[in-house]
Amino acid sequence: MSIYNVFALLGGLAFFLYGMHVMGDALEQRAGTRLKPILESLTSKPIKGVIVGALVTATIQSSSSTTVMLVGFVNSGIMKLSQAINVIMGANIGTTITAWILSLAGIESNNFWVSLLKPSTFSPILAFIGIVMLLFFKRKKGVSLILIGFAVLMYGMDLMSGAVKGLADTPEFVKLLTLFDNPLFGILAGAVVTAIIQSSSASVGILQAVSMTGSITFETAIPIIFGQNIGTCITAMLSSIGANRNAKRVAIAHLFFNIIGTVLFTVILFTLNAFVKFAFMSLKIDALGIAIVHTVFNVLATMVLFPFSKQLERIARLIVRDGKEEVQFEMLDERLLTTPPIAIERCRKLTGEMAILSRDVMIKALEMINGSYSEKDAEWIADMEEKIDMYEDKLGSYLIKVSMESLSDADSREVSKLLHTINDIERISDHALNLSKSAQDMSDKRISFSEYAKDEISIMSSAVTEVLITSVNCFINDDIKAAASVEPLEQVIDKLKDSIKKRHIKRLQDGSCTIELGFVLSDVLNDLERTSDHCSNIAANIIEMNSFGTLDTHQFLRDVRSGEMGDSYLEMYEGYRRKYALSK
């Protein structure tokens, strides 16, 4: 083997790993939107978790990515530890699909149709299609990267195979292989190589390329394959650093699942072989044989250990014990950034929680301004307003990080919508705090509005309560129809504010109201009106992003108010105007 063969081997390895990286990332991004409903379908049924794990991993071509996602899900509270263990078992099965695809490289036939199945035959065509799509169809970037990544991967595989073909006649290489006659050395080698490149699929592919020399037997390859399953756990172990205890337990369960499976089948197989002498163990193994061994091992390991998932959970809990302090819930986990659609969905759910909290704070503040002030409620509103500020800070920072990832157009729109929405939600809580302070000010000074003013504020408060509840519900449910009813009600609230101010000026002139109360009333009306404005922004974001895919809220609202969006706006406006009419 010359130095040029070494160069070709290293170059082939580089192409292979880079192609797998590009294809895996593109598959993960394309599949991300579909992963959300699949993962949400998880129930307490263990078998369903195994199936989901196999499907997800087969789709994104990486058990490492799946386990990293699981660490993030458990750390964020999306998934329970028991569910994650079942998904891990399925992930070990799903990752074997890559070996089957790579085994096609070993096809040898003079038949035209059979030769078409050989990746070196069709991957150049896929590469050409992919580059054309990348250059001329920007919206299909994900698909084009999948095709290009696969072509580069297979080119690297062919380059490696060609570089190592001469190794069969190299005494040093043959001597090196004899070291792996000891199963322990084979397991160790497989684990170390896989841990270094952090991908069992890639290390299996490298083994398949080396097998094309015709120098590796089943007896040599099987322990290496077993070890590769242990080495792939390094990714989840590294990912669990800094996570909560349950997330660490996911990584531990993954490691012990593969260690137990490896030890069990190594002992059984090689003990029986010592007495029975299986004929196939001395046969030369090829790429297809490696794919078969890889699959059989993972399927059998899952079948044997599946009934003991509870015991695996207990082992993980014994190693990572509960502390005296309560585990702090981590709202958002950066591990989820590897799958942006899942990260965005987590942000959307937390934004929904933030919206509900802000709604409840405002409703409580409205009750206080309408005469039911209490110091305890005022403290609660202040505490919740600080919590909502924290939500905005955490979500905003996290969404900025998500936006830096490679996103689809739909995901980019969702990130933009959420960034605008969390700002409006936070401002609503600010106005609630202002109302609480106004109520406290009136209580401390022992002053109160006139009966006329109380009646007017009560009517406007009812309208604000309705627009607030509607806007929060339409965001949580992504309900465009409900969102369409927000803007006409917001306009009615604007008119109410103007009318109440005019009535106050008249009462001020009559001497039935004081200037001091006038300042308080003006602040209250401004907070109520601004609250409805933010509700209008939330609803407009939903309508515009879902219907038009853009975000120019001010232009959109101008179009609505000018009647360009249809007659239904005027009908709803008249209905709300009559519903919240001030008494004569």
Distance CA 171, CA 195 (A): 28
Distance CA 320, CA 247 (A): 10
The long-range contacts involving 167-170, CB below 8 angstroms and separated by at least 24 positions, are 167/1, 167/210, 167/213, 167/215, 168/213, 168/214, 168/215, 170/1
Distance CA 105, CA 207 (A): 13
Distance CA 130, CA 477 (A): 37
H-run or E-run covering 148: helix 141-164
Least confident of 199-208, 300-309, 448-457, 467-476: 199-208
pLDDT of residue 355 exceeding 90, the answer is yes
Query: In terms of C-beta density within 10 A (0-12 exposed, 13-18 middle, 19 or more buried), how is residue 160 classed?
Result: buried
pLDDT value of residue 12: 80
The dihedrals phi and psi of 243, each to the nearest 5 degrees, come to -85, 175
The long-range contacts involving 32-37, CB below 8 angstroms and separated by at least 24 positions, are 32/339, 32/340, 32/341, 32/342, 32/411, 33/341, 33/408, 33/410, 33/411, 34/59, 35/59, 35/339, 35/341, 35/342, 36/341, 36/342, 36/345
Max avg pLDDT among 121-130, 358-367, 511-520: 358-367
What's the token pair of residue 109? 């036939």
* Cβ(180)–Cβ(189) below 8 Å: yes
| pLDDT band at 140; cut points 50, 70, 90 | confident
Tens digit of each residue's pLDDT (9 = 90 or more) over 379-422: 999 999 999 999 999 899 999 999 888 787 788 888 988 999 99
Give the Cβ contact number of residue 286 at 10 Å. Answer: 17
Tens digit of each residue's pLDDT (9 = 90 or more) over 176-196: 655 667 888 888 888 888 888
Contacts of 187 (CB under 8 A, 6+ apart): 223, 224, 226, 227, 230, 262, 266
H-run or E-run covering 556: helix 553-561
Question: pTM to 2 decimals?
Answer: 0.64
Distance CA 355, CA 426 (A): 8
pLDDT value of residue 340: 82
The dihedrals phi and psi of 284, each to the nearest 5 degrees, come to -70, 140
* Cβ(422)–Cβ(392) below 8 Å: yes
| pLDDT band at 69; cut points 50, 70, 90 | confident
Q: Which residue has the higher pLDDT, 527 or 37?
A: 527
| pLDDT band at 436; cut points 50, 70, 90 | very high
Q: How does DSSP classify residue 327? A: P
pLDDT value of residue 144: 86
Q: Which residue has the higher pLDDT, 160 or 427?
A: 427
pLDDT value of residue 32: 57
514, 517, 519, 525: CA torsion to nearest 10:
-130
Tens digit of each residue's pLDDT (9 = 90 or more) over 5-19: 778 878 887 887 788
Give the Cβ contact number of residue 571 at 10 Å. Answer: 11
Give the Cβ contact number of residue 237 at 10 Å. Answer: 16
pLDDT value of residue 535: 93
Least confident of 171-180, 273-282, 295-304: 171-180
Least confident of 35-39, 116-120, 290-294, 434-438: 35-39
pLDDT value of residue 360: 95
Residue with tokens 């579909």: 34
Distance CA 489, CA 542 (A): 16
Query: For all residues of the chain together, what is the average pLDDT?
Result: 81
pLDDT value of residue 39: 57
pLDDT of residue 478 exceeding 70, the answer is yes
pLDDT value of residue 556: 54
| Residue 18, amino acid | Y
Alpha helices (runs of H) in 212-323, residue ranges in sequence order: 218-231, 233-239, 245-276, 287-305, 309-319
pLDDT value of residue 336: 76
Q: How does DSSP classify residue 336? A: G
pLDDT of residue 328 exceeding 50, the answer is no
Question: Which string of b and e fits 505-524 if b means at least 16 CB within 10 Å?
Answer: eebeeeeebeeebbebbeeb
pLDDT of residue 116 exceeding 90, the answer is no
Contacts of 316 (CB under 8 A, 6+ apart): 81, 85, 249, 250, 252, 253, 256
Residue with tokens 């005019």: 502
pLDDT value of residue 296: 93
| Residue 138, amino acid | K
pLDDT value of residue 448: 83
Distance CA 360, CA 81 (A): 32
Could you give the domains of the chain? 3-319 (no CATH), 339-579 (1.20.58.220)
pLDDT value of residue 408: 77
Residue with tokens 């609250």: 531
Question: Mean of the pLDDT values across residues 118-135?
Answer: 82
Contacts of 147 (CB under 8 A, 6+ apart): 126, 127, 129, 130, 133
State the maximum Cα–Cα separation within the chain, in Å, rounded to a whole number: 111
Question: Mean of the pLDDT values across residues 91-107?
Answer: 78
pLDDT value of residue 304: 92
pLDDT value of residue 324: 46
Spatial CA neighbour of 416 closest among 399, 404, 401, 391: 399
pLDDT of residue 110 exceeding 70, the answer is no
What's the token pair of residue 62? 């990486």
